């Protein structure tokens, strides 16, 4: 049986899409033009280390590490593996409902991983 599924009385049960909530300010702070470029590089090249991402971005390692930390706090990027850690997209889509900004909530949807895997396109707009 595939991970993330369950079987009850002969029926396949697919879990609800997973979403995490975070402060919209955290996501908005993380989505600077420089960080969006890192997200695009991670999506396109799937770097196997932070060092490789630094080379692709032509940015110094401390700078890239700080950016990755902000993207990770916002739930957009995950650091996987041990040594070397590699950046991986944690989500395909970030949705901020403007009406919800007054409530201080937004959702980061990672359910796409269950269906399409990390090769799906990162969508903007």
**Gap between the Cα atoms of 28 and 40, Å rounded:** 16
**Gap between the Cα atoms of 94 and 123, Å rounded:** 9
Q: What is the pLDDT of residue 100?
A: 63
- 47 exposure class (CB count in 10 Å sphere: 0-12, 13-18, 19+): buried
Query: Which carries the bigger pLDDT value, residue 105 or residue 62?
Result: 62
Q: Is pLDDT at 113 greater than 80 in this prediction?
A: no
Number of Cβ atoms within 10 Å of the Cβ of 124:
10
What are the structural domains, with CATH classification, of the chain?
A: 14-115 (1.10.10.10)
Q: Which residues contact 50 (CB under 8 A, 6 or more apart)?
A: 61, 64, 65, 68, 84, 85, 86, 87
Percentage, residues of the chain above pLDDT 70: 59
25-82 confidence digits (pLDDT tens): 788 889 999 999 999 999 999 999 999 999 999 999 999 999 999 999 998 999 998 8
77-96 confidence digits (pLDDT tens): 999 988 889 999 998 887 77
H/E segment holding residue 8: strand 6-8
Query: Which carries the bigger pLDDT value, residue 115 or residue 24?
Result: 24
């Amino acid at each position: 049986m595939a991970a993330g599924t369950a079987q009850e009385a002969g029926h396949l049960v697919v879990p609800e899409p997973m979403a995490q909530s975070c402060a919209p300010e955290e996501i908005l702070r993380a989505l600077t033009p420089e960080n969006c470029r890192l997200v695009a590089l991670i999506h396109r090249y799937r770097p196997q280390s932070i060092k490789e991402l630094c080379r692709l971005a032509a940015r110094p390692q401390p700078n890239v590490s700080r950016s990755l930390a902000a993207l990770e706090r916002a739930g957009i990027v995950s650091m996987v593996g041990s040594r070397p850690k590699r950046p991986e997209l944690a989500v395909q889509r970030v949705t901020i409902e403007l009406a919800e900004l007054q409530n201080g909530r937004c959702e980061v949807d990672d359910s796409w991983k269950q269906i399409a895997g990390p090769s799906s396109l990162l969508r903007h707009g």
